[in-house]
Amino acid sequence: MAKKKAPAAKTSKKSDSDQNGASLQRPAAELLFAEELARLEAASADQPKPPGWRMTPKSVLAFVLGDESMDVAAKFVGRRSFMERCIVSLATNRGLMLIGEPGTAKSFLSELLAAAISGDSTLTIQGSAGTTEDNIRYSWNYALLVSEGPSDRSLVPAPLYMGMKYGKLVRFEEITRCPLEIQDVLLSILSDRVMAIPELQDAERMLFAAAGFNVIATANTRDRGVNEMSAALKRRFNFETVNPIADIAQEMELVQRETNRNLQRSGVPVVLGENITELLVTTFRELRLGKTTDGKGIESLSTVLSTAEAVSTACAAGIHAYYYSDGEVHPHHLVQHLVGTVLKDNPDDLKKVRHYFDHVVKKRKADMWMRFYDARSELC
């Protein structure tokens, strides 16, 4: 009699979907684009690269801007010269400061760069009024500290400590939201590439940065004056401005691609059509720039209608269409979710949008624009 096959032993190994981030709500870039990163890293294995980097500067550029010959998709829209300067900055002894309007993908760009250069985009400090030195450098496990004294075991590393120890990029988001004394923690570290840990003994008192360490910081131009960086800290960064996407076709392509990717990850089988994408992006650009596509002036909003906001609005419209409608995004879905995007601080912004519908949208005779205008009653 044949023996029954024993049941397979249970294993703690993660499934493929967990490893590539398919089951995560917002996977890190190194998980989301793992296959592309592996190809680029393998292709540049024998080529010269900066110390501590996983791939060459050319491969980093290809990862961010795309490379058809390597089957690598574009992930960020920007000038090649701008991207080259950003990448070169990270190979120097100066940090990289990305500044720009809200929603211009500064954080996403810093994530892509960290994923390509270090293979890890998670060493992130989120700047705020409540950020402390412990959140940046290190803190202590007080139970171990009391029982054993200061040691490697009782030290709890923060992102900056980890980046220096293992030679990785550290992302400092919204640095100007932090108090000046917290920002200036970076001064000696960016100058001397060393962190003092006075609680530890002898050789362990100083942590010297491993090759590959650097800092990418981001700052919102609308926060200027909140906690303006000191002149000393500014000198330790190369500043690069991330501008909104200039070409409407490129912006439409990005909004459609990112919206459809986000909807797919949300389990919503809805695809944003080209006509709806054009309607949304045109509206956002005109209200953002304060003029129509034919050059007529209109009132711009105090709210920044960024590309990122357009993607969020399109995703909300797609989810709404799937659960409450026929599964196809219509103009009235955009109007419904435009309100939540526009109405943040200034009630006058909603009045300006109504004025835009009455004086711009109303005059456009294409079917999609007429249906968009007919849904104006949702602006409330």
Inter-residue contact 131 to 253 (CB < 8 Å): no
Q: Is the pLDDT of residue 355 over 60?
A: yes
Q: Give residue 20's pLDDT.
A: 55
Domain boundary among 174, 206, 241: 241
How many CB atoms neighbour CB 328 within 10 A?
14
Residue 93 lies in a domain: yes
Q: In percent, how much of the chain has pLDDT > 70?
A: 93
Residue 52 lies in a domain: yes
Q: What is the residue range of 355's domain?
A: 248-378
At 6, the pLDDT band (50, 70, 90 cuts) reads very low
Report the pLDDT averaged over residues 353-372. 93
Kindly state whether residues 253 and 229 are assigned to the same domain: no
Q: pLDDT tens digit string along 230-269? A: 999 999 999 999 998 989 999 999 999 999 999 998 899 9
3-state secondary structure of 220: strand
Report the CATH number at residue 104.
3.40.50.300
Q: Is the pLDDT of residue 61 over 60?
A: yes
Residue 229 lies in a domain: yes
Q: Give residue 102's pLDDT.
A: 86
Residue 82 lies in a domain: yes
Domain boundary among 241, 263, 278: 241
Kindly state whether residues 329 and 200 are assigned to the same domain: no
Q: Give residue 21's pLDDT.
A: 55
Q: Give residue 8's pLDDT.
A: 44
Average pLDDT value for the chain: 90
The alpha helices in 56-137, defined as continuous H runs, are 57-65, 80-89, 106-118, 133-136
Domain boundary among 241, 270, 287: 241
Report the pLDDT averaged over residues 176-201. 92
Kindly state whether residues 45 and 190 are assigned to the same domain: yes
Q: pLDDT tens digit string along 268-278? A: 999 999 999 99
At 2, the pLDDT band (50, 70, 90 cuts) reads very low
Query: What one-character-per-residue DSSP string does 119-153 give?
Result: S----EEE--TT--HHHHSEEE-HHHHHHH-SSTT
Q: Give residue 350's pLDDT.
A: 87
